[in-house]
């Protein structure tokens, strides 16, 4: 049976609410203790992995908040509230077109990554000279955007969007996540990636060194726990959509005319806007993993193209399947141009 991060839990008073009703509820109204959700076995798995790696004195706690993060100076790991219940995950997908951490593998990837931040804080590792030499300094400002180099061998590849490249602290957390995964043979995979391999070797040495030490920070203090979040789900998603609502480069007419036409002799064929609506979901799912871009951003881009296609009164020039493949290629190209322009938004 396929493992899920969700499990059958006691019926919640809000789970049969309509989307509109649910959006009016505050986040704290939707709170479910982690121990009563399907996430606890995965948190236990994280603790087991830490033990297997010799880090028996470090056992980070987890709590629900509005997204995945570890607050600066804290050791507790925040998890997004929508992973507590399938009804909330469904609403998340309806608004952002994906559920970050919504599968066991994805959840564990994110959990290991956040654990990297937690152990960094717990032992004050960012102050170490060699850590700064290999990864950079934590004082480096976080930018809203970064330009990833997809083929760079200076960084491990763990989360999508080449996240290790976004900031020295993210590089450290990503390297830790790769090192921690007991099923990951990093020695073999990264042996020809000189700089990334050096970082992993250092991580291995560093973790062995601190394994017998008690953490400098042992508090389980929680930053912005769900039980204290009074904003409504509607406010939460408005903020999210504003944050991720980026402007892609405009699709020039010449690109669209390669696939579609406004010649009257094609007027009996399917309208371009109708076609695009039919292939939107497939396109979104095809482009996102290859480009490391949020499905929400791609959905926005496609919406703009639909509007432009209507204004230009476009119709299919070629058959459906051929046009679909060309359309996916075009969206991939535009998305990659967007990434390399330096406007790649960070996930957190």
**pTM for the predicted model, two decimal places:** 0.79
pLDDT > 90 in the chain, percent: 65
Judged against a pLDDT cut of 90, whether residue 245 lies above it is answered with no
**Residue range 95-124, pLDDT digits in tens:** 888 899 999 999 999 999 999 999 999 999
pLDDT > 70 in the chain, percent: 92
Q: Out of 227-231, 280-284, 304-308, give the one with best mean pLDDT.
A: 227-231
What pLDDT does residue 75 have?
Answer: 96
Judged against a pLDDT cut of 50, whether residue 166 lies above it is answered with yes
Interhelix angle 295-312/272-291, rounded to 10 degrees, is 150
What pLDDT does residue 303 have?
Answer: 85
What pLDDT does residue 163 have?
Answer: 84
Task: Please give the Cα distance from 25 to 166 (Å, whole number).
Answer: 34
In sequence order, what DSSP letters do the residues of 211-263 get, joined into one string? TTSPPS------SS-GGG--SBHHHHHHHHHHHH---PPPPPHHHHHHHEE--
**Residue range 47-89, pLDDT digits in tens:** 999 999 999 999 999 999 999 999 999 999 999 999 999 999 9
Judged against a pLDDT cut of 70, whether residue 144 lies above it is answered with no
> Is there a contact between 115 and 46 (Cβ–Cβ < 8 Å)?
yes
> Is there a contact between 97 and 299 (Cβ–Cβ < 8 Å)?
yes
**Residue range 182-191, pLDDT digits in tens:** 787 899 999 9
- At 143, the pLDDT band (50, 70, 90 cuts) reads confident
Judged against a pLDDT cut of 50, whether residue 40 lies above it is answered with yes
Kindly state the average pLDDT of the residues 285-290. Answer: 82
What pLDDT does residue 141 have?
Answer: 87
Which class for 149: exposed (0-12), middle (13-18), buried (19 or more C-beta within 10 A)? Answer: exposed
Instruction: Find residue 63's DSSP bridge partners.
Output: 78
Judged against a pLDDT cut of 50, whether residue 178 lies above it is answered with yes
Judged against a pLDDT cut of 60, whether residue 345 lies above it is answered with no
> Is there a contact between 134 and 202 (Cβ–Cβ < 8 Å)?
yes
**pLDDT: is 117 or 144 the higher one?**
117
- At 336, the pLDDT band (50, 70, 90 cuts) reads confident
Measure the CA angle with vertex 261, ends 255 and 267; round to 5°. Answer: 155
Which segment of 17-31, 40-54, 145-159 scores lowest on mean pLDDT? 145-159
């Amino acid at each position: 049976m396929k493992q899920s991060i969700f499990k059958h839990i006691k019926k919640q008073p809000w789970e049969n609410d309509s989307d509109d009703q649910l959006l009016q509820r505050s986040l704290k109204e939707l709170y479910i203790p982690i121990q009563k959700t399907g996430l606890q076995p995965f948190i236990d798995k994280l603790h087991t992995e830490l033990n297997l790696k010799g880090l028996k004195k470090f056992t980070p706690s987890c709590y629900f908040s509005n997204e995945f993060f570890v607050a600066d100076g804290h050791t507790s790991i925040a998890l997004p509230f929508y992973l507590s219940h399938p009804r909330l995950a469904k609403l998340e997908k309806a608004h952002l077109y994906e559920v970050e951490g919504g599968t066991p593998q994805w959840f564990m990837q994110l959990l290991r990554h956040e654990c990297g931040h937690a152990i960094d804080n717990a032992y004050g590792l960012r102050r170490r000279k060699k850590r700064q030499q290999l990864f950079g300094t934590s004082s480096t400002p976080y930018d809203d955007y970064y330009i990833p180099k997809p083929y760079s061998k200076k960084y491990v590849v763990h989360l999508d969007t080449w996240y290790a490249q976004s900031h020295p602290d993210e590089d450290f957390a990503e390297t830790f996540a790769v090192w921690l995964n007991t099923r990951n043979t990093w020695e073999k995979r990264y042996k020809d990636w000189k700089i990334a391999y050096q970082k992993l070797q250092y991580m291995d040495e560093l973790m062995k060194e601190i394994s017998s030490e008690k953490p400098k920070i042992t508090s389980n203090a929680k930053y912005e726990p769900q039980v204290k979040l009074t904003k409504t789900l509607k406010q939460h998603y408005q903020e999210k959509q504003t944050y991720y609502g980026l402007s892609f480069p405009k699709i020039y007419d010449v690109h669209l005319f390669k696939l579609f036409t406004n010649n009257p002799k094609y007027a009996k064929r399917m309208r371009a806007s109708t076609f695009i609506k039919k292939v939107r979901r497939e396109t979104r799912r095809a482009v996102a993993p290859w480009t490391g871009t949020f499905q929400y951003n791609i959905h926005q881009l496609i919406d703009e193209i639909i509007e432009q296609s209507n204004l230009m009164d476009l119709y299919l020039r070629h058959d459906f399947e051929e046009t679909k493949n060309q359309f996916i290629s075009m969206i991939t190209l535009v998305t990659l141009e967007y990434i390399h322009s330096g406007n790649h938004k960070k996930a957190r």
